[in-house]
Structures are given as C-alpha cells and as structure tokens.
C-alpha cells in the first residue's frame, strides 16, 4: 500500500500578520507547493532527495519562492525583460552545492514556474496583477494548516 504524504508546504509560511495575506504571497505559496512536487518527483534529483530531509526540501521551497518575489518585482518594475532565476538564490541556501547541482535545481524551479504560470491563465485570482490586494484563500487554508 502506498504511503500518503501530507503536503508539508503550509499557507501560513507566507505571512506573519493579516496585512501579509495578499495575493503575491498566495502566488509564492502556490509556487512553493508546485516546486516541492517537482523536487520530489524529478529523476534528476534522486541524490538531492537522498541528501536532504523532507523538512530541508520544504524549507528550500518556501525560501526559494519568497526569493522569486524579488525577481517578480524586477520584471514588473521594468528592470529586466524576463523573470530571472538567479543562481545566488540557490547558493545562499545550499552554499556547498556545485554549480551543476545549482543549475539542476534552477532548471527544476523553472519547470515548476512554467507549470504555475500555465494554471494562472485560467485562474480567477489575479495574483500578479492584483498583487497587493487581500487574498481570502489564506483564511480558507488556515484550518488545514493546523498541526
């Protein structure tokens, strides 16, 4: 019988107070959720999963998705032409990684990003265009996040 895994990415990791329950933070939560799935299922990341606990992978996904918010602001502010996946985001979390390991994680992160953006096309939440508006989805998921 296959063991069911409870999703370790919690919505509450993306806000500290009511004012932070906004759509851009919901977008980051959704990205971390998808990134986690990609990291757990990638054939190229077997060694990564062997060397990192579920908690470490979860912490990386939360950290990386929050760092990507900086890249979103750069893109929307016209500072760059496309959303950028900086290797420094991985290096800061995993300072002992090789560049090749970082690039494998970045490629996986980009695949997760593309998956999320694909779902944004049909999603009514408008997390980017209305990024600073309150997101009621956090309140709906708070009960699910109780441990």
pLDDT value for 141: 74
Is-above-0.75 flag for pTM? yes
Does 84 reside within a domain?
yes
* 3-class SS of residue 134: strand
* Average pLDDT across the chain, whole number: 90
Radius of gyration of the chain (CA): 15
Does 21 reside within a domain?
yes
Does 4 reside within a domain?
no
Find the distance separating the first CA and the last CA of the chain, reported in whole Å.
25
Q: What is the pLDDT of residues 63-95, one digit of tens each?
A: 999 999 999 999 888 898 888 899 999 999 999
Range of the structural domain that residue 118 is part of:
11-142
Side-chain half-sphere CA neighbours of 64 within 13 A: 33
- Report how far Cα 49 is from the mean position of its chain's Cα atoms: 17
Does 3 reside within a domain?
no
- Residue 11 near residue 145 (C-beta atoms within 8 A): yes
Does 1 reside within a domain?
no
What angle, rounded to 10 degrees, do the helices at 23-41 and 99-120 form? 120
DSSP code for 68: H
Burial class of 16 by CB neighbour count within 10 A (0 to 12, 13 to 18, 19+): exposed
Does 6 reside within a domain?
no
Does 77 reside within a domain?
yes
Q: What is the pLDDT of residues 99-130, one digit of tens each?
A: 999 999 999 999 999 999 999 888 888 998 89
* 3-class SS of residue 86: coil
Does 147 reside within a domain?
no
How many independent structural domains does the chain possess?
Answer: 1
């Amino acid at each position: 019988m296959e063991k069911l895994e409870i999703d370790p990415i919690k919505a509450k990791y993306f806000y500290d107070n009511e004012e932070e329950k906004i759509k851009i933070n919901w977008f980051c939560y959704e990205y971390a959720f998808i990134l986690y799935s990609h990291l757990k299922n990638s054939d190229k990341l077997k060694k990564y999963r062997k060397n990192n606990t579920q908690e470490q992978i979860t912490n990386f996904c939360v950290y990386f998705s929050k760092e990507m918010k900086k890249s979103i602001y750069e893109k929307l502010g016209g500072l760059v032409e496309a959303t950028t996946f900086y290797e420094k985001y991985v290096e800061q979390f995993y300072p002992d990684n090789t560049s090749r390991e970082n690039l494998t994680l970045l490629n996986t992160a980009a695949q997760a990003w593309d998956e999320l953006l694909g779902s944004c096309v049909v999603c009514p939440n408008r997390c980017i265009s209305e990024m600073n508006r309150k997101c009621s989805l956090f309140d709906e998921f708070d009960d699910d996040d109780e441990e």
